[in-house]
Amino acid sequence: MGLLIKKELPTGEVVEYHKITVTNIDWHRKNAVISVASFIDKEIRDAGKSSVITKLFEFRERKPLIKFPFDLERNVVEDAYKEIKRLPEWKDAVDV
């Protein structure tokens, strides 16, 4: 699973395929850090090439915009993709 959305980086490079690489969930403190690696395209990622950039997203239960569903019965990675797509700059991302 990944997200497809074109983004221009400050360097001028354009990336369009984004994949969650790490989810770090602290169930006790209800805090999640999600790492998203961005690639030029899916073919580059599938070829095993390195990501252009990696961005961290932090979700806290008390933060109003992004409230991660802290539930042990849920699929953490699927939830992470859904929550990232709720952010304004990612709202047009397509699941691939």
3-state secondary structure of 83: helix
Higher pLDDT, 58 or 10: 10
CA 23, 54, 89, 94 torsion-angle sign: negative
Instruction: Give me the pLDDT at residue 64, please.
Output: 44
pLDDT at 61 over 70: no
Average pLDDT of span 46-61: 86
**Residue ranges per domain, the chain?**
3-89
Q: Indicate the pTM of the whole model.
A: 0.81
CB atoms under 10 Å from CB of 34, counted, come to: 24
Beta pairing, strands 94-95 & 3-8: antiparallel
